[in-house]
A and B are shown apart, each in its own frame.
Chain A
């Protein structure tokens, strides 16, 4: 009797220790696959990128598989280039405009979705997914067709409605070029933001919202006190993601403005990187610009990220 209970006590102790070990090591097991996946694929490219940024590495060096170390020369050359700074400023303004429009319109449409009858809601969400599913290359071309000077639908409609006199060249100045790009990007980004916010709204307790929406006068308070707190993490996440994506967006400006018209006056960071680094096959310089972009985006989004991390602290 005594022997077996001692044995069982030891077994219980072992089981408890095992469970505590499992409990403490669980998060690590959970992230191992992700870390392995990312590390295996991106480990070498990241190392390469950093190493390359300190080397003189053009096409010749690429073929030789060997670059010449030049220390921080690439960084110095980029940071001394006035085009870099002008482009940076332009990209920051561009990002603020894009993210603002995307999040503002996205939230508005997501809230609108709540108010719609079921059939309109399904129609609108299906429409959004159709927009989402259009390949960017095609969307850019269609956009250009719609807005071009010679036979664009936009000009046609505006002149028929008597709103503009003659054909308007929507690509005449840098401001209008980038405005067209903004339109294209926001249009393409709305589906994800709207659907994700709507999914977030779906997590809000149904009966609470229903009770609040019955009395319209308290709609704003209901939104502020019930919906917003639940949406906050998702809003912050979407904003930080949008900042990251819009800062580095490449395909839309490159295709809509066209390679022939992309020049220092309308560079964004990504087209600047592409032209300076890869078109000219100056891979060392391209790597330096990439690292600089990484650092800049990190700084830009640190506010949101820290907020996200802090929210996580409160909950966990």
Chain B
């Protein structure tokens, strides 16, 4: 009985949270007159695929999605590896300069990003990295690293040191402990952090916009902005369809990795 009550609560939370997303997706299928109608239409009885067609036919869709995928995957992969290494250093070792490093990590996140746009552009221009995917990748790594280090450190601190110490007593090297004990227990933390890194990078707009010029190099979010950029009529139906399309890769990525978070499936948990 109690289980049913919890489930009901879970479903209510689900419904409330998902409503705006539902609204976006449902609007993507509505014909134009229902999109702007005063009386809201919950689910259209005359659904249309015209908005999706319009969105897919807008030039550079596949190119821009491909660019986003490359940028985000490389940036996230490199960031997570680097962040994990740094998190281990901060969480498991004592060394001079550790506090300064922590201050750097936190301080970077406190900088308002708006102020960095122009100086970052100038800096990257000097390295001839403007209008390149590499420049954007490097920029995203810089934004993703600080909170990844900070978050992974938190997960590391939650793992009792006794686990490693007992393993080392048994003869493992430091690295062995890292691979065989820490890494599996970090699974959920790594997944949560990489999903966040993925989403933040995928949805990032202004830096990509300023750094990338050629339409063949732009990202999915820039492609999306073209629906809003004119001084004239905005095609809301097409915008909603386009947004739905650009959100799909994120969901796919999460579904692929979400099993690692599932409670009770973590390998190598404390036995006894």
Name the contact of B83 in the complex, choosing from A34, A113, A230, A316 (C-beta under 8 A).
Answer: A34
**Interface hit among A4-12, A79-87, A93-101, A290-298:** A290-298
Alpha-carbon distance between A237 and B228 when the two chains are bound, in angstroms: 36
Q: B168 at the A/B interface (Cβ < 8 Å)?
A: no
Alpha-carbon distance between A120 and B9 when the two chains are bound, in angstroms: 10
Alpha-carbon distance between A23 and B168 when the two chains are bound, in angstroms: 14
Report yes or no: A196 in contact with B192, Cβ–Cβ below 8 A.
yes
Task: Check A270/B112 contact, CB under 8 A, given A35-B101, A316-B92.
Answer: yes
Question: How far apart are A24's CB and chain B's nearest CB, in angstroms?
Answer: 8
**Interface hit among A66-74, A174-182, A305-313:** A305-313
Report yes or no: B36 in contact with A48, Cβ–Cβ below 8 A.
no
Number of A-B contacts (CB under 8 A): 313
Report yes or no: B23 in contact with A127, Cβ–Cβ below 8 A.
no
Report yes or no: B158 in contact with A203, Cβ–Cβ below 8 A.
yes
Name the contact of A30 in the complex, choosing from B36, B89, B195 (C-beta under 8 A).
Answer: B89
Report yes or no: B14 in contact with A38, Cβ–Cβ below 8 A.
no
| Residues of chain B with a CB closer than 8 A to A137's CB | 205, 224-225, 228
Report yes or no: B250 in contact with A202, Cβ–Cβ below 8 A.
no
* Apart from A49-B115, A316-B93, 16 more pairs, CB < 8 Å: A30-B86, A46-B119, A49-B116, A116-B7, A129-B254, A129-B255, A129-B258, A132-B199, A136-B203, A138-B240, A142-B23, A198-B261, A234-B155, A277-B114, A294-B112, A301-B106
Residues on B close to A: CB < 8 A? Answer: 3, 6-7, 9-11, 13-14, 17-21, 23-24, 27, 36-40, 82-83, 85-86, 88-95, 98-99, 101-102, 104, 106-116, 118-120, 122-124, 126, 138-139, 141-142, 145-147, 149-151, 153-155, 157-159, 161, 174, 185, 188-189, 191-193, 195-196, 199, 202-203, 205, 221, 224-225, 228, 239-240, 243, 246-247, 250-251, 254-255, 258, 261-264, 266, 269-270, 272
